[in-house]
Amino acid sequence: MVLLGIFPWIIFLIFLKILNEKIPKNLLFASLFYFVAVLIYSYKEPRISLLFVIIYLFSIHIYFLRGNIKHTIFSTFWFFMLDILYFLGSKEAKFDIIIPIAITTLSLRQYSSKIDFLIFNIFSMSLIISYYYNLYLFFMLLSVYSFYFLFLSLLEYKLKLEKESSEYKRLLDRAVNTEVQKKLLQVDDNIAISSKKLKEIFKLSNYTVSTTDLEAMAERVVKGLLDLGYTGVIISIFPRKIFKKLGFFPNYKLIVENITTEKLNKVNINEEDKYIIIPLKVSNEKLGFLAVYKKEGVSAKETEYLITYANSVATAVANIVHFEDLIKLEELTYKTFESLDIGIAVLDENFNIKTSNKRFKEMSDLESNNLFESIPELRHLEKDFKEVIEKNKAFETILSSINKQGFIYRIKALPLYTQSSPDESIDTPKIVLIIEDITEKEKLEAQIIETEKLAVIGKMAAALAHEIKNPLTAISASAYRIKSKAKKLNDNKIIEFSEKIETHSERARNIIDRVLNYSKPSYHKLEVINIKDILRQTLEFIEHSLKGKKIKIKTNLRKNALVNGDKNALQQVF
């Protein structure tokens, strides 16, 4: 019985030792008093053993008070009175009242929770009942207090672990925060130093990239870096052949001459001569270089700053060059647009003129911004222009006149879709209207057609000329024979007529030759001739055709009017 009763307390004490927890003195005394009470009870001395049970319960109650002096004094007095009553009372009274009162006194304490209150008081009631029911069972149940204390110790140990864990986390967080704060302070110091330098450098960037003048920008770059404490600065911008140097830069001419394309592929640092050359590149396009010399040498951090700044300068240079090229292109486009001999205008969906060139303005009424009010002759084309927008299809037609009678114009309308602003994704429909004066072109085409007709006629005339030349040859030969016979007869009149027949036959032959040469390169037989003779021969040729027309020809010619020309051609002219 002794071993069975003391065993739970031994387990409790061993468990506290394992947990490395300090054993409460009150509970240690309680376990000793319980051991003595059980031992005495085993020797059949219940009266004395119950005395030690009261002391056992007193030790447990003192443990529950946890150092409350006022309650401890009162409890000591109370249990002392119970002991006195135990000795003075009758045998029946001590069994009936004292022990249950002592057990009930244990319930007068603070509880950690309602469950704790419920469990403890149920156990106390069970203990009182066992006291009246079976004293042996009562002594056994008294050891169950050790399990209750074991349960409380486990809860306290758990709370202790949680508290230690929380404290450890707090200390760890504090240590980490302290270290982080320390590192942050170091970083803040570095950032402050870097920020100061970057502010100076990007202060340059702000007014560097705000200009569109490369000369001014280059001047600001070298001056700004010199103000930052660098001894000498050089900048070279290839696209505009700009070279700027400021400050002292030893052997800079030799250094610049030795800068090759290969060297501009990377940053060149010369620690011995204490200078750095940074290429100005954008998308692998070499725009120039930035060279910086410092008497004390360029540090690693300064190198980073300068590379960052050089990249900013390179971007600014690229933007300015691109901007200048765009301006030139815009000027060229505008000049081309204005100088075109074709009228061009851009219309919105309501046919209002958004922009137009000089030639279009000459064709239209400048007082109105609407196309059909500006050029009323186009109003009948409004439906066709609407279809250009709706069907996204070009339209073309020919008008005989717009603002000038006798002129011909080609009208062409093309669809155009543009965004009203960069923020808008919907395209706004527009029309490109082209008005071209094709009067001269039409005339040239008509002349070409007429020339082609004349060429056909020429070919026909050439065919006829070949047929006419044969009779002329026979006429000339016959005239020659008549003249020969007239000479024998001395008939001057026949001789004169024969010579005229020969002369005009020859002239007819020459005319036919010219008709044959109509489609061939023209040539003239130039010689010194007398205009008087040419006119006389021409008048004799047409004299017969003037008969009966009542036309008289009077001549007033100088004796000799010599010129250098083609006799037959002049005769045709006359």
| pLDDT in the model for residue 203 | 56
Residues whose CB falls within 8 Å of the CB of residue 390, separated by 6 or more in sequence, listed in order: none
Q: Counting runs of H as helices and runs of E as strands, what totals does the chain give?
A: 19, 12
Amino acid at 412: K
* 24 alpha-carbon distance from chain centroid: 76
How high does pLDDT run on average in the chain?
75
Contact 292, 308 (CB under 8 A): no
Q: Among all chains, which residue has been given the structure tokens 């140990």?
A: 157
Q: 1-15, 47-61, 370-384, 497-511 — which is least confidently predicted?
A: 1-15
The residue that leads in pLDDT, 128 or 515, is 128
Q: What is the DSSP letter of 565?
A: E
Q: 2-16, 49-63, 350-364, 488-502 — which is least confidently predicted?
A: 2-16
Q: Where does the pLDDT of residue 93 fall: very low under 50, low under 70, confident under 90, or very high at 90 and above? A: very low
Residue 544 has pLDDT above 70, yes or no: no
| pLDDT in the model for residue 161 | 78
Written as six digits, the tokens of 431 are 């029309």
Q: Where does the pLDDT of residue 519 fall: very low under 50, low under 70, confident under 90, or very high at 90 and above? A: very low
Residue 63 has pLDDT above 50, yes or no: yes
3-state DSSP assignment of residue 275:
strand
Pairing mode of beta strands 268-270, 409-419: unpaired
Determine the length of the chain: 574
| pLDDT in the model for residue 315 | 83
pLDDT tens profile 165-209: 888 888 877 877 787 777 767 766 666 656 655 565 555 555 454
| pLDDT in the model for residue 515 | 61
| pLDDT in the model for residue 147 | 72
Give percent of the chain with pLDDT exceeding 70.
Answer: 79
Q: 20-29, 184-193, 406-415, 427-436 — which is least confidently predicted?
A: 184-193
**Alpha-carbon gap, residue 326 to 362, rounded angstroms:** 29
Which residues, in sequence order, are bridge partners of residue 375?
Answer: none
| pLDDT in the model for residue 521 | 47
pLDDT tens profile 19-36: 767 777 777 777 787 777
Q: What is the 3-state secondary structure (H, E, C) of 496-539?
A: HHHHHHHHHHHHHHHHHHHHHCCCCCCCCCCEEEEHHHHHHHHH
**Number of Cβ atoms within 10 Å of the Cβ of 360:** 21
Q: Where does the pLDDT of residue 158 fall: very low under 50, low under 70, confident under 90, or very high at 90 and above? A: confident
**Alpha-carbon gap, residue 21 to 23, rounded angstroms:** 6
Query: Is the entire prediction scored with pTM above 0.85?
Result: no
Q: Among all chains, which residue has been given the structure tokens 């209150």?
A: 117
| pLDDT in the model for residue 94 | 43
Q: What is the 3-state secondary structure (H, E, C) of 61-112?
A: HHHHHCCCHHHHHHHHHHHHHHHHHHHHCCHHHHHHHHHHHHHHHHCCCCCC
